[in-house]
Structure 1
Amino acid sequence: MKERLLKHRDGAIVRWTLNDPAHRNALDLDLVEELIAACTDAGADSTLRFIVLSGSGGAFCSGGNVAGFTEAIGRPWDEGHPDPLIAQSKRFGDLLHALSALPQVLIAAVEGPAVAGGLGLVCCADFVIAAPDAVFATPEVTLGIAPAQIAPFVWRRLGDAAARRLLLQGRKLNAIEAELLGLVDQVSEDLAVSVNALIDRLSRAAPGAVALTKRLLGELAGHAVLDVREPAARAFVASLRSPEAHEGLAAFMSKRPPRWAR
């Protein structure tokens, strides 16, 4: 079976590569669990200083793999029983929190699409370096779905006004636009060279001091990510099971505007 998460260790650096190019490295529950486990291992490794997250096949991550949600779209759940999709959505929230809590420096190296949940992964990184062909998008609301789990992380990365412009419009940004917005730190023709140069500069900082500084930044009232995993999961699932999601995804598949579009 093909490895979905490639891990390559080189001294104090580990490179995690999402490896499902046929689906543009979309996240399903198994891949989410692999990433959470990798975060747990990294958090306990005092010899590790840098984590580089990327995707294979010219794509970073196209978001959640909707195949597991197909039967739920537009279909209400019997409120007498727990909705299993809520736990799945919360697990993605667990991943975002785990990435943000890493004591090491996390660098996202982005080629191609970083969409929806993939953009959420980007917003967990300390530094983001993008290739010129990188595309960043939050199309969820145009499909009738709330981008609930990623919203706090986009908000922390960009601030309230820019997060609203991105999330409420379902905007798509190229690499330069993302850099101007503050989503991307550097646009580079050669990701590998730029990532290595960044690591060289960051290596001058003591790892213990970096970990403590990251923890302090995470605790600042204006910087902290509020733990809204439960309400975010409920909002996501409620929107996914709504008639709007059914219409939005049907319109997308038919390449037509949804009924609510003017």
Structure 2
Amino acid sequence: MSQAADLVIDARGVATVTLNRPEVHNAFDDLLIAHLIDLIAQARNNQQVKVLVLASTGKSFSAGADLGWMRRMADASREDNIKDAHQLSALMESLNNFPCPTVAKIQGTVMGGGVGLVACCDIAVASDNAFFALSEVKLGLAPAVISPYVIAKIGVSQARRYFVSAERFSAIRAAAIDLVHEVVLVTELDAKTEQIVATLLANGPQAMRRAKELAQVENPLPCTPALRDYTTGVIADLRASEEGKEGLRAFLEKTQPGWIAKH
């Protein structure tokens, strides 16, 4: 049985963390989140690592939350939902604060929490077939835990639009709002990612770490413990709400949720 995610560290010091659930478009659940936290920690603790690449197998980068996981959490207690959401917050924080340069290699679908992973990386390169959505409100939820990281990347103005609209946008649009840095043909994604990695490897490893620190110190992410408690509380409340349960039910049954007016 294959792992839901893998870590490979090559002789150059390039650590590649690969999401490996292509059958569910690399959607993540509590087990995958815990596994990713462990793999990122392994890479962080390896003194040979100079660059981290976040990639995925199959047609999609990540479709966000796994539906089975969402169904379980809708029936869980608020305490369990808070604990669960804190794990997702810990994943985002561990990737965002990784000491070495991080590169997201993106293809296909990028939804919800998948957008959060992209926002936590220093450099993001996407294929031209990629599309993105902060789709949570369609399910009666909100992009709560990932919000500090996404807002830091795309800015308040764009977040105010895409958080509430849940509309899909292209890789070209993602580049225009600074979510990604490069857009290439899908056939060129591997080569472009390798070119970026080679560029990074030509730089001083310790200098890159300190340079990354500079960017974060000069523009600190306001993700304090109090903010993390607030965002995890928001998603815990929405998951257990009638609207959240109705949104999930409608999505699973492929019907319209009750808040859409019937004509």
Per the TM superposition, whether the score is higher than 0.5 is: yes
Match of 1:62 in 2: 63
Q: What is the identity, as a one-letter code, of the residue corresponding to 1:224?
A: L
> 1-side partners of 2:31 and 2:239: how far apart?
20
Match of 1:224 in 2: 221
Tell me, yes or no, if structure 1 residue 144 matches structure 2 residue 144. Answer: no
State whether residues 76 and 242 of structure 1, in contact with CA within 8 Å, keep that contact through their aligned partners in structure 2: no
Match of 1:100 in 2: 96
* Aligned-residue identity in percent: 28
State whether residues 156 and 223 of structure 1, in contact with CA within 8 Å, keep that contact through their aligned partners in structure 2: no
**TM-aligned CA distance change 1:41 to 1:152, over 3 Å:** same
Question: Pairwise mapping of residues 37-48 of structure 1 onto structure 2 (< 5 A)?
Answer: 37-48=38-49
Match of 1:206 in 2: 204
> 2-side partners of 1:4 and 1:71: how far apart?
19
Question: Pairwise mapping of residues 141-220 of structure 1 onto structure 2 (< 5 A)?
Answer: 141-189=137-185, 190-220=188-218
Quick check: which one's helix share is greater? Answer: 2
> 2-side partners of 1:108 and 1:8: how far apart?
15
> 2-side partners of 1:24 and 1:85: how far apart?
23
State whether residues 149 and 221 of structure 2, in contact with CA within 8 Å, keep that contact through their aligned partners in structure 1: no
1:145-170 deviations in whole A, cap 9, x for unaligned? 02111100100001111111111211
Question: Pairwise mapping of residues 70-81 of structure 1 onto structure 2 (< 5 A)?
Answer: 70-73=71-74, 77=77
TM-score, length basis structure 2 = 0.91
> 2-side partners of 1:9 and 1:203: how far apart?
14
User: Bigger shift: 149-158 or 227-236?
Assistant: 227-236
Q: What is the identity, as a one-letter code, of the residue corresponding to 1:234?
A: G
State whether residues 218 and 225 of structure 1, in contact with CA within 8 Å, keep that contact through their aligned partners in structure 2: no
Match of 1:53 in 2: 54
> 2-side partners of 1:144 and 1:46: how far apart?
43
State whether residues 17 and 53 of structure 2, in contact with CA within 8 Å, keep that contact through their aligned partners in structure 1: yes
Where does the alignment leave 5 or more consecutive residues of structure 2 unmatched?
Answer: none
Q: 2:79 aligns with which of 80, 83, 107?
A: 83
Q: What is the identity, as a one-letter code, of the residue corresponding to 1:3?
A: Q
Tell me, yes or no, if structure 1 residue 132 matches structure 2 residue 121. Answer: no
SS at match of 2:64: coil
Q: What is the identity, as a one-letter code, of the residue corresponding to 2:210?
A: L
How far apart are residue 72 of structure 1 and its match? 4.4
SS at match of 1:130: strand
1:170-225 deviations in whole A, cap 9, x for unaligned? 121111111112111111121110011112222332111111122232233x4414
1:111-134 deviations in whole A, cap 9, x for unaligned? 111111111101001011111111
Q: What is the identity, as a one-letter code, of the residue corresponding to 1:133?
A: N
Match of 2:237 in 1: 238
SS at match of 1:168: helix
How far apart are residue 139 of structure 1 and its match? 0.7
How far apart are residue 247 of structure 1 and its match? 2.1
**TM-aligned CA distance change 1:213 to 1:23, over 3 Å:** same
Q: 2:118 aligns with which of 117, 122, 145?
A: 122
1:14-51 deviations in whole A, cap 9, x for unaligned? 21110011111111122111211122222222321111
Match of 1:3 in 2: 3
How far apart are residue 259 of structure 1 and its match? 3.2
State whether residues 101 and 215 of structure 1, in contact with CA within 8 Å, keep that contact through their aligned partners in structure 2: no
1:36-80 deviations in whole A, cap 9, x for unaligned? 11222222223211111111111111112231231443x684xxx
